[in-house]
Structure 1
Amino acid sequence: MQLSRFTDYSLRVLFYVAMNPDRLATLSEIAHFYDISLEHLRKVVHALGKSGHLETYRGKKGGIRLALEPEAINLGALIAQTEGTSPLVDCHRSPCRLASNCSLQSVLAEAQRAFFDSLSQYTLADLLSNQPMRERLIAVEEL
């Protein structure tokens, strides 16, 4: 299983703004820091704002910041939201001759549940406890 670019960028945005809680971060500075597309970030930030993870402010003095404490952002819930929880294999959408006798779908569903259950044990705060990562994100202000 591979996470989408959308999920990757969602996590990066949350890391960045969580480590800079005393100010509003801008899309352009986040795009510059990670060297990623501003247009992709717009979509990501819009979705994170709609989901209640970010507060967004428009205008010349605008920017973004976390709407929740890092301890309240559960990774399993966030990734389920950004990736979706559709079955990894949907035997009914594209009919398969083996569908009625195959156990692949149930095995993959079990694996997917385990994946989300594992991620649900962690919050954004847990990831930010990595000191080298914190130092790199805090050094942003020096750029």
Structure 2
Amino acid sequence: MRLKKYTDYALRVLIYTASIPEGELASKKEISYIFHISENHLGKIIHQLNKLELIETVRGRSGGVKLAKTPENINIGYVVRAMEDDFLLLECFDRDTNYCVITPACKLRHILNNALHAFLEVIDQYTLKDLLSNKDELRELMDIT
């Protein structure tokens, strides 16, 4: 299974915004620069994170983004589910487009479905706070002073 870059970038935005000093705002430009993400693409991610009420955006010349919740209240499983549009691992996971003739007898679908549920169950156990246990190291790597 592979998560979309969109989801990866959303998690990076959350890590970055959780790493900046309290009371400060992160700019789209600096996040774009640090992670080599186009500002246009990043804008879409920030918009969705804002709609999910995970970050707040402040408009204006000295605007930016900040977390809308504390890191311990941002569940990683929730973020991944919200950012991914589907978890269709195989053709047979989508009833509308499944033309595989062995679907009724195939065991692979059930195995992968169990694996997907196990994956989601594991990431549901973590919050953004867990991703920040090495906050000083992250701040150094992201050049946050």
Equivalence for 1:133: 138
8 Å Cα contact 1:33-1:140 kept in structure 2: no
CA shift digits 1:93-131 (9 cap, x unpaired): 221110111122111110000001111111111110024
CA shift digits 1:28-81 (9 cap, x unpaired): 011112222111100100000000100011121211100000001111111111
In structure 2, relative to structure 1, the CA distance for the partners of 1:114 and 1:84 (3 Å cut) is farther
Unaligned runs of 5+ in 2: none
Equivalence for 1:113: 117
Separation in 1 of the partners of 2:118 and 2:33? 35
Question: Which secondary structure does the structure 2 equivalent of 1:96 belong to?
Answer: coil
Separation in 1 of the partners of 2:78 and 2:91? 22
Separation in 1 of the partners of 2:36 and 2:2? 21
* Total equivalences in the alignment: 140
Equivalence for 1:44: 45
Separation in 1 of the partners of 2:141 and 2:69? 22
Give the alignment of 1:24-63 within 5 angstroms. 24-63=25-64
Q: How far did 1:85 drift?
A: 4.6
Instruction: Provide runs of 4+ in structure 1 moved above 4 Å.
Output: none
8 Å Cα contact 2:90-2:109 kept in structure 1: yes
Separation in 1 of the partners of 2:29 and 2:138? 21
Q: Which amino acid aligns with 2:141?
A: R
Unaligned runs of 5+ in 1: none
Equivalence for 2:127: 123
Give the alignment of 1:43-122 within 5 angstroms. 43-91=44-92, 92=95, 93-122=97-126
Separation in 2 of the partners of 1:76 and 1:28? 27
Q: Percent identity between the aligned chains?
A: 41
